[in-house]
Structure 1
Amino acid sequence: MSNLRELLANRTDINVGGGSVSAQYISIRGSGQDRIGMIVDNTSTNTQQWYHQGRFQLDPSMVKSIKIDKGAGSASAGIGITDGVIRAETVSAKDLLKDGRSFGARIGSEYNSNRGINDSLSLYGQANNLDVLLLGSWGDDKNYKAGKGYSDAVNKNSRVVNNTARRQGNYLAKFGYDITDKQRIGLSFRQESFYGAGQDRFEMIFNSRPVNANTTKRTYNLEYDAKDIGFARDVKANVFHILGTDKREDYQQNKLTGYQRSSKTKTTGANLGFTSEFGGEHLFKYGVNLRKEQTGSQNSF
């Protein structure tokens, strides 16, 4: 699997529109991604780097688990959860290490019949209370072939959709340390990059002037987990920073003039959540969520 469309293909309540990887637009029961929450390792942003572009561009090779909440979320679900939420957790070294092993590696390669190839490499290990994971994946998707009945506007005998080729390079580094058997601290860095030639609106099919576009999102996350600390059964806290950049070529008098258009997004946030038991059969969840988001063009940052 190289994208979220393939990862969520069996979910009837999820729809993924658009064609190429960075154009895929997710909705839950008809509610678009501007109205649903998308959370990875308890980090999230509602700011798009470019209009008409998916903002949940997570590489499936990094995913440990993914869960879907349909409809309005509970008060403990986080900020802005009005029509549903997708929650993903990335893998760690402990998830990949076999019992008794202190080091491991995983190499993967995939070719799909609709003109794409994907490779990945993972290195992971554990020494005493410290565990480390380094993961990289790379994809090269050519212009894909559409279904029966489609014909290209220029070449009527071709079903290949122009301006849909995308390349990607995604990276994940995770460090975890077990303070005690019930307390753990973790630090992670995740980057997703997509680049290729296409229209300004990647999910639409045109045969006019395509431009090169490079999109990158970097996420830094520091987290703390604890269990059974007196008044709380579980404690989960994290602080994070997400930086997104989008650079695109521009035309002047029908000639490309370099990457003159750019946009940036910045998101800084923190979450602190507690779960306490009372009455033997009830759980009480409480905490605080903070998030500050900024977006702007090359003229405002």
Structure 2
Amino acid sequence: MNHKLPLVSLLAALSLPLPAQNPSADEMGDGPTAATLAESLDLDVLVVSATRTDRPRFSTPAAVSVLRREEIQVILPYAFQDVFESAAGVTVQGGPRRIAEEPAIRGFSDEQVVIRLDGSRQNFNKAHGGRFLLDPDLLRSVEILRGASSAVYGSGALGGVFALETVNGRDLTNGRDGIGVRLRGAYQQNADERSGFATGYGQSGRFDWLGSFVYRDAGEDLEDGNGNDILASRDEITNGLIKLGFEPGADHRIELAFDRFENEGLNPTNANSPATATNLVERNTERGGLRARYRFDPSGGDWLDLEASAYRNEVDTRERRLDDDRLDLTEFETTGLEIANTSRFGAIAGQPIRLTYGVEFFSDDQGGLRNGADRTQFPDAEVDYEATFVQAEIPLPGQISLIPGLRYDGFDYTANGFPNRDDSETSARVALGWAPHPSVYLWAEFAEAFRAPSLTELFADGVHFIVPLQPGQVVINEFVPTPNLRAEDASQVQAGLRWQSRDLGGTGLDLEFDVTWFESDVDDFVDQIVVFISGEPTFDPITQTLVFPGITTNRNVDARIRGIEASARLNAPRAYLKASLTTLDGERTDTGQNLAGIQPDRFSLTGGLRLLDRQLVVGAEFTAAGSRRNVPEGAIETAGYGKVDAFINYFPRTGALEGFEFRLSFDNLFDKDYRIHPNGINQPGRSVRLSLARDFQWLN
């Protein structure tokens, strides 16, 4: 991490012409403008994640949020917490270190949430580590499906699904033949982070391509709102993406993608905990992904609308602990295949019935070493899944739609030293939607979900941690394997109301309001128990130490989580406004004890103005969260907080600066000291971010 990207040199390069002739305004095509952000707030957005078919979000009987590329880029995100901060029902846990970020939806976190990248499952999970192994700059869009979704996506979708899509060549050429280059340099004063981004892309007839590279170097530790260093938070990130697209006919698309992500930093072994002199490791995390997708949707063909994908993800981590030179190596591989088809037949109320059906196969394979020997804390193990699913979208008279679905998942575990185990789950879903008026939509859903226990939850063994008590006394806490741990099962009921108004009074003002109530009952919720001292001490004559035993194990408990989510969007020619509210509560149903990780109530308000003929966007975001103090004994408590962010984006279309893109953002503008529940570390204080970019395009 001793090499740095010279930001000044990169920014200077942006102002220089390429060897080819400088493009004219017409050749430049449709660069980023304030209008792009207006389109990203359009009410007519289509969603796919809820049903695997294209549906208008407004008339989809599910809780779905959509973030498009410009909405993400306008805030200059440092990490995924910035991306999802204003989304209803969503939190990113794990603290300010990017390598520790974990997803959470409606109180379900980590492996209780599915992450899909370009249709491929991202299943890697390592205790106290993160799952977002991708730079936000590569995203085209994100769909967030909130609520039980195993009838569509299988194991892990208790809280919902993050469907991440990366950008491709046709996105950046807007479907026109030609080539382009995009260069961007960025700087953040908090952590002294210098970043560089370079993308080449093009389209020629049936072919399109994209190559993108991201480099970030946080040269200093972050500071919190009190001015204190967040120790061991600096890191260096590289992320590359190559995408090739081929459309042999108007009805076909083949896409191949390869991406590689690497995060290198000095962090605690538990990356979401405070750093100490004895817990620091030199950590290197690498993820490589290879994906192939095929889409065939023949025009005029009712029986065939096929999508298939195959993928392989590999994650490797290397951690060398500084105080004793202990070396841990971790490998995790996911291989998958998914095929789905939609057939249309019949007609009710003038609309066809759509039947979607398919199969999915994937496997997770993991292994770990410690100083060259098998690491029982991350044991060699494998799980294989096979699934079939079917769903019908049935239009009914009176603007009513009915969507039943069913999925069967079978899974087999294999681990060294344990008997093989196989299990299965069936997940059902039925959703009902009604549009009594074009501006009103009512919907309700019952859905089931499950999460098969992870390989580490089932088979982890060996020492978890060692804590000295006083001279001659020590606690040695060890994992207790739980190979018979049952799968988590959830049944969820949710209902929602949406209202929208287009071009109110001929003013160009669009309005939308959305409110959802939900309740989830979870059987066999996996609860990790850490008993610091579990029995009488024994004397070790070799080390002359009194050893107190401790255990870490997992158990199944029952829980209930309920809440309300509300959002509103206002979009006018010269201004926009977004608001979201999340209320959440959860407890164990056997004891009434509150769940420790449930996020507090949160409110977000974002507004912006479009000025200078939409060349300039200025805006701000206010976020307020309540306190979370009613937690089980020994669990982390969190105080409430409020913070303000601000941003300025300028896209000049004339003069010497034509073609440039200037962005300035202020995260935590007033330098507030705060933590996101249930993190044990403060979030960063004021962070000033500056970005300068230019697109060069030669399009027909």
Give the stretch that moved more between structures: 167-176 or 72-81: 72-81
Question: In the TM superposition, what whole-angstrom CA distance separates every residue of 1:63-120 from its partner, at most 9, and x where no partner exists?
Answer: 1110111110162335432221100111000001146441001111222232223221
> Does structure 1 conserve the Cα–Cα contact (< 8 Å) formed by 2:320 and 2:328?
yes
Are 1:144 and 2:144 an aligned pair?
A: no
SS of equivalent to 2:112: coil
Counterpart of 1:152?
A: none
Letter in 2 for 1:5: Q
Relative distance call for 1:19 and 1:88 in structure 2 (3 A) is: same
Question: In the TM superposition, what whole-angstrom CA distance separates every residue of 1:3-60 from its partner, at most 9, and x where no partner exists?
Answer: 2111112113111121111111221111112101000111013231x31111122211
Q: Which of 127, 138, 162 is the matching residue for 1:62? A: 138
Letter in 2 for 1:292: S
Are 1:34 and 2:104 an aligned pair?
A: no
Counterpart of 2:334?
A: 267
SS of equivalent to 2:228: coil
Aligned length: 287
Using the TM superposition, give the Cα deviation of residue 233 of structure 1 relative to its aligned residue in structure 2, in angstroms.
4.8
Using the TM superposition, give the Cα deviation of residue 232 of structure 1 relative to its aligned residue in structure 2, in angstroms.
3.2
Counterpart of 1:224?
A: 294
> Does structure 1 conserve the Cα–Cα contact (< 8 Å) formed by 2:215 and 2:238?
yes
Letter in 2 for 1:62: L
Letter in 1 for 2:260: Q
Could you tell me how far apart the structure 2 residues matched to 1:78 and 1:228 are?
Answer: 28
Counterpart of 2:368?
A: 297
Counterpart of 1:154?
A: none
SS of equivalent to 2:141: strand
Q: Which of 118, 131, 151 is the matching residue for 2:208? A: 131
Could you tell me how far apart the structure 2 residues matched to 1:45 and 1:7 are?
Answer: 18
Relative distance call for 1:99 and 1:220 in structure 2 (3 A) is: closer
> Does structure 1 conserve the Cα–Cα contact (< 8 Å) formed by 2:177 and 2:204?
no
Relative distance call for 1:107 and 1:265 in structure 2 (3 A) is: same
TM-score by length of 2: 0.40
Are 1:278 and 2:356 an aligned pair?
A: no
Counterpart of 1:192?
A: 261
Could you tell me how far apart the structure 1 residues matched to 2:174 and 2:294 are?
Answer: 24
Structure 1, unaligned stretches of length 5 or more?
149-157
Could you tell me how far apart the structure 1 residues matched to 2:309 and 2:139 are?
Answer: 19
Q: Which of 240, 244, 248 is the matching residue for 1:175? A: 244
Letter in 2 for 1:274: N
Could you tell me how far apart the structure 2 residues matched to 1:179 and 1:7 are?
Answer: 36
> Does structure 1 conserve the Cα–Cα contact (< 8 Å) formed by 2:80 and 2:136?
yes
Could you tell me how far apart the structure 2 residues matched to 1:125 and 1:134 are?
Answer: 9
Could you tell me how far apart the structure 1 residues matched to 2:179 and 2:332 are?
Answer: 37
Question: In the TM superposition, what whole-angstrom CA distance separates every residue of 1:232-286 from its partner, at most 9, and x where no partner exists?
Answer: 35211011001110001135xx4536xx310000111000011122233322111
Using the TM superposition, give the Cα deviation of residue 125 of structure 1 relative to its aligned residue in structure 2, in angstroms.
1.2
Counterpart of 1:244?
A: 315
SS of equivalent to 2:230: coil
Could you tell me how far apart the structure 2 residues matched to 1:99 and 1:189 are?
Answer: 22
Letter in 2 for 1:266: E
> Does structure 1 conserve the Cα–Cα contact (< 8 Å) formed by 2:177 and 2:205?
no
Could you tell me how far apart the structure 1 residues matched to 2:197 and 2:285 are?
Answer: 20
Could you tell me how far apart the structure 2 residues matched to 1:14 and 1:99 are?
Answer: 33
Could you tell me how far apart the structure 2 residues matched to 1:99 and 1:128 are?
Answer: 9
Could you tell me how far apart the structure 1 residues matched to 2:239 and 2:256 are?
Answer: 17
Relative distance call for 1:43 and 1:135 in structure 2 (3 A) is: same
Using the TM superposition, give the Cα deviation of residue 231 of structure 1 relative to its aligned residue in structure 2, in angstroms.
4.8
SS of equivalent to 1:7: helix
Using the TM superposition, give the Cα deviation of residue 163 of structure 1 relative to its aligned residue in structure 2, in angstroms.
0.7
TM-score by length of 1: 0.89
Could you tell me how far apart the structure 1 residues matched to 2:223 and 2:98 are?
Answer: 14
Using the TM superposition, give the Cα deviation of residue 161 of structure 1 relative to its aligned residue in structure 2, in angstroms.
1.2
> Does structure 1 conserve the Cα–Cα contact (< 8 Å) formed by 2:150 and 2:156?
no
Could you tell me how far apart the structure 1 residues matched to 2:136 and 2:303 are?
Answer: 33
Relative distance call for 1:240 and 1:199 in structure 2 (3 A) is: same
The CA RMSD measured in Å over matched residues stands at 1.9
Q: Please show how residues 40-55 of structure 1 align to structure 2 within 5 Å.
A: 40-48=117-125, 50-55=126-131
Could you tell me how far apart the structure 2 residues matched to 1:123 and 1:162 are?
Answer: 37
Are 1:76 and 2:152 an aligned pair?
A: yes
> Does structure 2 conserve the Cα–Cα contact (< 8 Å) formed by 1:79 and 1:289?
no
Using the TM superposition, give the Cα deviation of residue 195 of structure 1 relative to its aligned residue in structure 2, in angstroms.
0.7
> Does structure 2 conserve the Cα–Cα contact (< 8 Å) formed by 1:78 and 1:289?
no
Could you tell me how far apart the structure 2 residues matched to 1:76 and 1:277 are?
Answer: 19
Identical pairs, percent: 24
Relative distance call for 1:159 and 1:35 in structure 2 (3 A) is: same
Structure 2, unaligned stretches of length 5 or more?
1-76, 375-379, 382-700
Could you tell me how far apart the structure 2 residues matched to 1:185 and 1:83 are?
Answer: 31
Counterpart of 2:67?
A: none
